[in-house]
Each structure stands twice: as C-alpha cells, then as structure tokens.
Structure 1
Amino acid sequence: MATNLDRPQTCAICHGKAYGYNYDVVSCNACKMFFRRANVEGIGENCKSGGGCYDGDDFKKDRPRCRACRYRKCIALGMQHKSTDSDASPSPGPDTHPRQQAKKSMIVAVVQKPLVTQAHIDSRLIQQMLVLHHTRREVYLTINICEDPSFLDLVLEGSNLSKYKRPQPIEWEKTERKLKPWGSLGVLLIVEIVKAMSFYEELLLSDRVILLKNVAFKSHHLSIAFDSFMAKKGRVLAPNGEEMFPDQLFQIAECYDIIMDLLTSPMQPLLELNLTENEYLLLNMIMICNPALSGLSPSGQEILSKEQQAYAKLLLQVCMMRDPREGPARYGKILAVIEKLERQKDVTHRVVHTLRRKWKPDFHFSGVLTEACRLDSDRLPYMKTEI
C-alpha cells in the first residue's frame, strides 16, 4: 500500500513536486536543504522589491524569486528547526547494542514554539488602529458636552470616552457658541483616542501635553476628511451627514468662501491619492507619533521615534504591495498630506474672525482650538468662558 510519503505532493515553498518532506510543512528536498542551510549561514540580503517579488500577488500561494523572500515564506508557513536526540545525548558506551544506537539516532524531536511572524505583528497593529478608528466614528455621533477644558486638564483626567458616549441635552443656540462645536468636540475625541494608545502611558506628563496640543487638531481634520471621503462626499460633513455650520452662514458670501475652504482643502489630497483605509490609519499614526515636536524630553523623543518608524515602515510595505514600481513615490505623496494639513490652523483662524465680523461679534472659540492653533486672547478678542 502506498503511503502519503510515496505520493507526490506540491511543495508549499517552490510549488514543485515534493516526494519527501518534513518541518510540518510539505516541502521538497531542495527547499528543505535550503531552509537548513539558510539557518546556518543566515540570510543577509534584503528583497530588492520590498518583500513583493512573487509570480502573483498572494504571499502564501505564489513563488518568491529571491532567497530572502523564500526564507521568509518558509518561516511564515511554519517550518521549524529539528534536532535528533543523538545531538544532545552523550555518546553511547561500548555495551550499547548497535540496534539500540540506530533506534536512538532515528528519533526526531520537534521543539514547538509559538509562531509570530512580522505579518502577524503588522496585522495586529492594523487591527488595533481599526478598532480605535471605529470607536472614534461611533462616539463622534453621540458626543455632546458643554465643557471647555485645556490640554493640561485632559492629561490630568482619566478616560472620558464613557462620558462622551452619553450625550447631554444641550440647546447650542442658547449658549455662547450659538452652534454645535463639531471641531472642538472632534479634537476632544482625538485626545481620548490618543490616550488609549499603548505608548501614551510611557510618556511624561509634560510630553503628553505637548503631544496632544500639537497633533490632536491635525489628526481630527485628517479623520473627518477621510470619513467624508469614504462617504463619497465633496466636502467635510458632520458625522450625522449634515453641514458643519448653520445654513444661514452659507448665505453670507465672505463666510461661504472661507468655510468652503476649510471644508474642502483637507479632502483634496485624499481624492487625488484615492487613499485606502490602511494607508489612512498608518498616516494618522505617523502624524501622531511625531518625535520632532519642540519641547519633548529625550525619553519622549525616543518613544515616539520608535513608534513612528514602525508605522512608517509598514506604510511603505503597503505602498510597495500596491504597486512595487510606484510604491516609493506614493509613499512620499501620502506623507506630504501631513504638511498640507498645517494650513488648516490658519484657515480656522480666518473662519473665527470672519464669523465674528459678519455674524456674531462674540463668537466663542474653545480652549483646545485656541491652544492647538497657537492663538492667544490678545489676537482673539471677545474670548469668554462657556456658560
């Protein structure tokens, strides 16, 4: 009777016929010897195609064309080192029967180790970011608070997500803000999302304030722009699908122009790039983990630099998998979106002054937006506290 070892099978690595195999993965003798030799000699070369030199597009099904990717595929599919008892046990004595010696030399021991590849790590990072993204979108629909904290207040407080999930009945027309502050509420929500990230607890309190003050505003604008982009809208809309500003403001020519600039400019690069969800998630994390912020401690710079490098490397891999030839150029264009979001601070400043001149002289500008846009009470008159 023929056994499984007698029947030809397909090698999981090179897809050739495999009559003999081991390592818990169907592999031909050539791939088996390659894997053993690679473990001894080491694979020092890197893939020139960024880990994408395959006949097709599927890492598991297609055949790699370089030694580095071939070895990486062996590891990813579960090939492991095996050793015999004879390697570890002392040499047999003269009284040992030859048949017993032969039997011992044939025993194979497999050391089972948890298989964690770079692909698993990358997948876990993406899933964590995706969960936070969905949390932000869900809470943004319900958040409705009338508080006006500073970034220092937010750092000293615990998580506010549970509070944000319970909307308060507020008639915004009767407050000094006159309209629901989607912008400041979105910034407050981004702060809570950043506070939920693993690296945040490693930062000093002073570094946390600096980080949130510099990245929450830009992250908010990128996030709401991507939300509207995915909804196939031409400009940024509120999470409930309505306009960010009252209809009466669109009737004032000067207000209309500046508001449309604020709502359309962050979406333009996303439309041009046709940004994917994974690219957005990674870009947002690269923007948040900025080690070049002025005033950060050396430890804060080191923590954020390590985080940013990990997300930047993953973004480059995503771009290379999408198009190996145009991957580096696309990677650069995606990173350029961060600089384009800088102008949102100036546009927001102009929006506030335009609304005060053309609509409400005492229009309220929240504390977090004042800090994020680096504006003070001397440059922003009529600053009042929330009632």
Structure 2
Amino acid sequence: MENKELCLVCQDFSSGYHYGIPSCNGCKTFFRRTVMKKQKFVCQFDQNCPVDKSIRCACRFCRFEKCLKVGMDQSALQASRDPIGYTKRTKKPERRPMKEISSDESSNESPERQITPTRSFENTLNLLAVREKSANELRLSSYLPKRSLKQALCSKPLLNDPIFMNKHASRSPRHNYDNLRFITQDDYHYWHERDWFVLTEYAKTFNIFKNMSYHDKTELVRHAAIVIPVLNQVYNSPDHGLDTVVFPDGTYYDRTHEPTRPAGLNRKKYQVLDLVLKPFREMEVNFNEFSAFKAITFLNPDADVSLETKAAINEERVTITKHLYSYMVQKDGLEKAIYRFGRLILMGTTMSKMACESKEAVWIADFFENIGFTSFAKELIFGDN
C-alpha cells in the first residue's frame, strides 16, 4: 500500500521515518547536513517564515527550527552512518545558472549550499521571490478584512504568519473563472481594495519598514498606492494579448472606452497597457526579475519621508538593484543584460510620472463624486483620518 503519510516539516509526502518523525528526503537531508556540519543560519524576517513543500528552501533558519519543533532528534544521527559528502559521485556537478523559482524546482535543487560572496545575489533574489509568491497567494485568496490604515500598518504581518497563510491563502476559496467578462465599476473598487490590502502586508515584510515612524510608513505606502497595484495586475494577468489585463476572477479591461468613468482614469488605463503591459511582455520579464523590480519600485526614496528613512530606503534599494543586475548578467550575458536591465529600470521613471497623473485624476473624480471611495481608500489616497 502506498505510503501517504506527510512530512511533519513541510507537508510533502514522507519517504518514511527519519530521526524520529515521518519526513521527506529533502527535509531529512537538510536536517542531517545542518547538524553534521554544525551550520548556523540567520532569518531575514521575524523567525516565523512559512515552511511548506513549495517554499521550504527559502529560510534555512526557520526550516531547521521547524525540524526541531516537530521532533527531529539530533542524537539520532551517527557520524559513521550519516556521512556528509559526495558518496556516489567522483566530483561535484557543474553549477547551473540560477533559474526562476518554482515549486517543482525547489524540491529538486540543493538549496542548503552555502552562498558565496560572489553569488550573494541568489540569496537576495530568492528571498524576494518567496515574498512575492506569498503576496500573490494572499491576493488570490478571498480574505479581505475591513480595517483602518493604521490597523493595517501596525498589525502583525500576515505574510510572515504560516498558520494564517496556510488557513487563508492555501485552503480558503480562491478566485477563479470559466469565462471572461468586461470589468464594472464595482470590480475596479474590489480589486483596488484587494491590491491595497496586499500592499500593506507586503510592506510589513521589509525589515527597514518595521523601524520607520508611523508617518514614514504611511507616506511610503501612499507613494506606492498607484504603481504597485498596477504591477500586480499586469504581471499576474493571463496573456490575452497586449491590450488586455485580466484579473483572477475573470474580469478584464482593454482599450474599450468606458464613458461612465472619468476621462483621467480612462487615460490611466491606456497608459498601463502601453507603458507597463507591453514592455513586460516584450522583455519576457521572469518571476525573479519581477519580484526585484517590484521591491525597487516600492522602496522609493522620493516618498515624503524623513531624511533618515530616505537614506535607509535608498541603501536597501541600491542593494536590490545591484543584485538584480548581477542576476540578469549571469542569466542573459552582459550585452543582453545591459539592454534589458536598462529598459526595466527606466520603466520606474515612466511609472512615477503615470502615478502622478493618475492621482490627479483620482482627486478630480473624488471632488466631483464620480467614484465612491471607501474610508480605507480615502485614508490611503487622500490622507483622510
């Protein structure tokens, strides 16, 4: 009879009992290597990262802590019986280029290897990709709380809560569709609220964000309130052509003029299609590149924050930008990487201009009561408290 018992660490299928508990080969090997080599890891977040079969490789500190928590016994290892090294190979395999993160690949790679300084970008890009994967899972869920902006920014980060993510992002009803339907004003409202909710949770996963004053937190999130939802909507849209953005519930918009919407918001829609969707598709931006570009876009020192916060944001942003460039050079080669990297980064300037014009359109629409904003939206966009 097939063994359907699950690994207590990552919930993948167990290959049997190892070191006292049912576990998969990946977690068994990770635990053995960590103990035998006496490795020490550091968590980049709150020491509470989710550990499941799709992202078990993201944080080695939290994975090892999970191993101990569920009962893996260090004393069960024996040096003579649990050797570390290449027992079946005469030499190490040639290192392959880093690939886009995926659940299939994460179970086959050997993520426990030490990251050398010359390839430190791998660690940064992986962490950003894991963060983005969790954010998108939350966006796809049906969970949407009603709360104030202050409650949203001062509460515990949900993306770092494995119990919450397992319950609401992995198991709850998720958006899906069988047929496309043209978007309505209510649909715009709904998806803006969802993307703003996810934005606040995404923001709280950055270490520098935790140390900001409440004023700086609100200003940074407000500055990103137009561009980050646009990036989410465009990158995660199924490909129905260069003139169509599709949401997870099957609603979509294209170049069709919407006479009931303010002219400025119709103009913003065309800008999204021309300045974001088209370049993304032409450059074939992959998940790692998108995750890094989104973080760079969010960490914008042009926000109305304190000088100390501007310096911290800029330092973090420069680090991510350097690592993104290193990744693209390693993946594409120097000549192609310079072209793609330059084109991607310059999109940030274009999007900032688009965001300013869009906010003006939103203010005008609100003044003439063309759009019924929720109290949360008014706090976020207009600063109403």
**Which of the five TM-score ranges fits, normalised by the shorter chain?**
0.5 to 0.7
Matched, 1:317 2:326: yes
Equivalent residue in structure 1 for 2:155, among 154, 157, 161:
157
Give the 3 Å change call, closer, same or farther, for CA 262–138 of structure 1 in structure 2: farther
Equivalent residue in structure 1 for 2:204, among 192, 195, 211:
195
Task: State the 4+ residue runs in structure 1 displaced beyond 4 angstroms.
Answer: 58-62, 163-168, 177-180, 229-233, 249-260, 351-357, 367-373
1:118 CA displacement? 2.6
Matched, 1:183 2:195: no
Equivalent residue number for residue 14 of structure 2: none
1:253 CA displacement? 9.2
Secondary structure of 1:340's match?
Answer: helix
Secondary structure of 1:243's match?
Answer: strand
Give the 3 Å change call, closer, same or farther, for CA 144–363 of structure 1 in structure 2: farther
Equivalent residue in structure 2 for 1:346, among 338, 343, 357:
357
Deviations 1:284-303 (A, max 9, x none): 111122234333241x2332
Which whole-Å CA distance do the structure 1 matches of 2:241 and 2:117 have between them? Answer: 34
Deviations 1:211-230 (A, max 9, x none): 21212431221122111266
1:192 CA displacement? 0.1
Give the 3 Å change call, closer, same or farther, for CA 122–268 of structure 1 in structure 2: same
Deviations 1:244-269 (A, max 9, x none): 69x9x857698795474265243122
Structure 1: segments with no counterpart, 5+ residues: 1-57, 63-113, 169-176, 378-384
Give the 3 Å change call, closer, same or farther, for CA 142–117 of structure 1 in structure 2: same
Q: Read off the aligned partner of 2:281 and give its amino acid letter.
A: L
Which whole-Å CA distance do the structure 2 matches of 1:181 and 1:234 have between them? Answer: 21
Matched, 1:264 2:295: no
1:318 CA displacement? 2.7
Q: Read off the aligned partner of 2:357 and give its amino acid letter.
A: D
Equivalent residue in structure 2 for 1:363, among 355, 362, 371:
371
Deviations 1:56-110 (A, max 9, x none): xx98489xxxxxxxxxxxxxxxxxxxxxxxxxxxxxxxxxxxxxxxxxxxxxxxx
Give the 3 Å change call, closer, same or farther, for CA 167–293 of structure 1 in structure 2: same
| Number of matched pairs | 254
Alignment of 1:1-387 (within 5 A): 60=95, 115-118=114-117, 121-145=120-144, 147=146, 149-150=148-149, 152-160=150-158, 162=164, 165=169, 178-179=186-187, 180-228=189-237, 234-243=243-252, 250=258, 257-258=266-267, 260-261=269-270, 264-265=273-274, 266-298=276-308, 300-321=309-330, 322-342=332-352, 343-347=354-358, 350=361, 363-367=371-375, 369-370=377-378, 373=381, 375=382
Q: Read off the aligned partner of 2:127 and give its amino acid letter.
A: Q
Q: Is contact 2:325-2:337 (8 Å) kept?
A: yes
Q: Read off the aligned partner of 1:186 and give its amino acid letter.
A: D
Give the 3 Å change call, closer, same or farther, for CA 146–310 of structure 1 in structure 2: closer
Give the 3 Å change call, closer, same or farther, for CA 353–285 of structure 1 in structure 2: same
Q: Is contact 1:187-1:368 (8 Å) kept?
A: no
- CA RMSD after TM alignment: 4.0
Which whole-Å CA distance do the structure 2 matches of 1:218 and 1:230 have between them? Answer: 20
Q: Is contact 1:199-1:303 (8 Å) kept?
A: yes
Give the 3 Å change call, closer, same or farther, for CA 215–362 of structure 1 in structure 2: closer
1:195 CA displacement? 0.5
Q: Percent identity?
A: 13
Q: Is contact 2:242-2:273 (8 Å) kept?
A: no
1:190 CA displacement? 1.5
What's the TM-score, normalizing by structure 1? Answer: 0.54
1:312 CA displacement? 0.9
Give the 3 Å change call, closer, same or farther, for CA 270–148 of structure 1 in structure 2: same
1:315 CA displacement? 1.7
Q: Read off the aligned partner of 1:198 and give its amino acid letter.
A: N
Secondary structure of 1:290's match?
Answer: coil
Which whole-Å CA distance do the structure 1 matches of 2:242 and 2:134 have between them? Answer: 21
Which whole-Å CA distance do the structure 2 matches of 1:339 and 1:372 have between them? Answer: 22
